[in-house]
């Protein structure tokens, strides 16, 4: 059988690299990205709205978000030795992520097709139970990231700069701590409605909306490793310090957004 390889300069090289690192999660992430297209078509044909937004906006955003999580996990899995990537711990991470992500997106898409809300919809016992299950699913989804961090800490790739490895570990853990932490609070506090909003995202610009904090929290695993990589290339000797400084600044931004997003007391 002929094996097709792509040069690093090829636009297909990142795809090939992801497939080589963790094929199951890479394929899953690509499938989710492909699903965005029919959802976008549905949004163009279906003019129903929910809480002021097209009913298909939420499924599209979640498809992007879960796909990014899957592809990021696939990329970092490539830092593990072959026997770990092919072992049971990685199997658990993969299938927990795929199972929880598919449940979340499937229910959100179903509710969109029905023209009903998925979040904060507790109008009857069935919807209340499904909303609670979504919360458990989101917790499992983000919990896969510290599980991966544990494997990366136990089996470090010493060929990679220490600042990059440190940034990856911190980012994965903070994605769970910040993302799941604020997600639990957000599940019980519906964002304020009305007034000016951020285009596409729909976040309120007037405060009382924890979604920006949640967004910052769950994307720590992408932002901090990029900081570690950039710092290593700019000044390897100061890269670790730069990672810790970036972590403190990121945590400060997260705390600021949490404070801004909490509803005002009356």
Gyration radius (Cα) of the chain, Å: 20
Could you tell me which residues are beta bridge partners of residue 197?
204
Position 2 scores a pLDDT of: 45
DSSP string computed for 109-172: HHHHHHT--STT--SSHHHHHHHHHHHHHHHHHHHHHHHHHHHHHHS--TTS-HHHHHHHHHHH
- Cβ burial of 90 (10 Å; 0-12, 13-18, 19+) is buried
The model's pLDDT over 5-48, given as tens digits with 9 standing for 90+, comes to: 455 555 567 889 999 999 999 999 999 999 999 999 999 998 89
Residue 190 has pLDDT above 90, yes or no: no
The model's pLDDT over 197-251, given as tens digits with 9 standing for 90+, comes to: 777 677 877 778 899 999 999 999 999 999 999 999 999 999 999 999 999 999 9
Report the chain's mean pLDDT, rounded to a whole number. 91
Give me the residue label for tokens 């509710």. Answer: 111
Residues ≥6 apart with Cβ < 8 Å to 211: 186, 191, 201, 203, 261
Tokens of 4: 């097709």
pTM equals 0.91
Residue 137 has pLDDT above 90, yes or no: yes
Mean pLDDT to the nearest integer, 239-266? 92
Give me the residue label for tokens 């945590």. Answer: 251
Report the percentage of the chain scoring pLDDT > 70. 93
The rounded distance, in Å, linking the Cα atoms of 104 and 36 is 15
Q: Quick check: 149 and 73 in contact, CB under 8 A?
A: no
Position 197 scores a pLDDT of: 75
Residue 59 has pLDDT above 60, yes or no: yes
pLDDT band at residue 195 under the 50/70/90 scheme: low
Residue 186 has pLDDT above 80, yes or no: yes
The residue with greater pLDDT, 209 or 165, is: 165
Position 78 scores a pLDDT of: 95
């Amino acid at each position: 059988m002929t094996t097709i390889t792509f040069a690093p300069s090829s636009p297909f090289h990142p795809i090939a690299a992801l497939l080589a690192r963790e094929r199951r999660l890479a394929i899953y992430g690509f499938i989710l990205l492909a699903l965005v297209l029919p959802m976008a078509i549905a949004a163009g044909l279906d003019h129903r709205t929910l809480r002021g937004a097209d009913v298909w906006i939420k499924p599209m955003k979640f498809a992007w978000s879960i796909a990014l999580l899957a592809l990021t996990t696939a990329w970092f899995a490539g830092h593990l030795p072959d026997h770990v990537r092919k072992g049971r711990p990685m199997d658990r991470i993969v299938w927990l992520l795929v199972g929880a992500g598919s449940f979340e997106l499937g229910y959100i898409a179903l509710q969109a097709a029905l023209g009903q809300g998925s979040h904060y919809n507790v109008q009857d016992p069935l919807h209340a139970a499904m909303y609670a299950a979504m919360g458990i699913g989101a917790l499992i989804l983000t919990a896969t990231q510290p599980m991966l961090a544990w494997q990366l800490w136990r089996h470090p790739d010493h060929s990679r700069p220490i600042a990059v490895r440190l940034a990856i570990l911190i980012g994965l853990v903070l994605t769970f701590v910040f993302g799941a932490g604020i997600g639990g609070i957000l599940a019980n506090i519906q964002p304020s409605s009305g007034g000016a909003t951020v285009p596409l995202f729909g976040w309120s610009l007037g405060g009382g909306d924890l979604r920006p904090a949640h967004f910052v929290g769950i994307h720590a695993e992408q932002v901090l490793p990029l900081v570690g990589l950039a710092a290593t290339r700019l000044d390897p000797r100061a890269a670790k310090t730069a990672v810790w400084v970036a972590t403190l600044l990121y945590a400060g931004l997260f705390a600021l957004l949490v404070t801004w997003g909490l509803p005002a007391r009356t």
